[in-house]
Amino acid sequence: MGNRSRGAANTARGRRPLRVCKVCRTKFDNQVNPQQIVCSPKCGIAYVRQAKEKEWRKEKKRRLEKIKTRSEYLAETQKAFNAYIRFRDAGQGCISCGNKAAVQYHAGHYRTVKAVSALRFDEDNVHMQCSQCNCHDSGNICEYRIRLRRKIGDWRLERIENDRRTLNCTKEEVIEIRDFYRA
């Protein structure tokens, strides 16, 4: 026998190794029925019940996805976009005050979503900000502009400041943007 494990020895002699029940995780012998995946009828019933619940959860998720509104997709897209901005700017510190030791960072918009909705997902318009500047100092916009100008240049800053468009995306376009930033 030497190096071979007990399971290998059993297989060599024509016996199959013991299987582990998919429900209760106990070992059992499946000599009679090699396709058997549970140890008892009780575990079989539980296995079928679990499979049905899993299938129902998938179906429920699909149905909920189907009835989502555009605003719900916008919220998901904003969350994915903000996570991307924080990842992109990691280690650079706050765009407004330069703080690199903040407890929490946000994705702060230079031009607010309410002012110019078309810039909501514009990467030049959104940069990492500490929560102090973004929430309590109203974006600390004077310092934001000075550092933003250094970071992206005059021409791109002017483009942001002169933009007056509104965001007119369909539900499908919002989903596409969300999937792009999630990837």
Q: Whole-model pTM?
A: 0.71
Per-residue pLDDT reduced to its tens digit, 74-91: 999 999 999 999 999 999
Task: Say whether both 114 and 57 belong to one domain.
Answer: no
Quote the pLDDT of residue 33. 83
Task: Say whether both 178 and 100 belong to one domain.
Answer: yes
Task: Say whether both 116 and 34 belong to one domain.
Answer: no
Task: Say whether both 92 and 178 belong to one domain.
Answer: yes
Query: Burial, 109: exposed, middle or buried (Cβ in 10 Å; 0-12, 13-18, 19+)?
Result: buried
Quote the pLDDT of residue 182. 94
Task: Say whether both 91 and 152 belong to one domain.
Answer: yes
Residues in the chain where the model's pLDDT stays below 50: 1-2, 9
Quote the pLDDT of residue 80. 97
Task: Say whether both 22 and 111 belong to one domain.
Answer: no
Task: Say whether both 96 and 177 belong to one domain.
Answer: yes
Quote the pLDDT of residue 14. 60
Task: Say whether both 87 and 176 belong to one domain.
Answer: yes
**Overall number of domains in the chain:** 2
Query: Using an 8 Å Cβ cutoff, are 35 and 50 in contact?
Result: no
Quote the pLDDT of residue 29. 85
State which residues form the domain around 61: 17-66
Task: Say whether both 106 and 146 belong to one domain.
Answer: yes
Select from 91, 120, 118, 119 the least CA-distant residue to 105.
Answer: 91
Whether 94 is covered by a domain: the verdict is: yes
- How many Å from the N-terminal Cα to the C-terminal Cα in the chain? 51
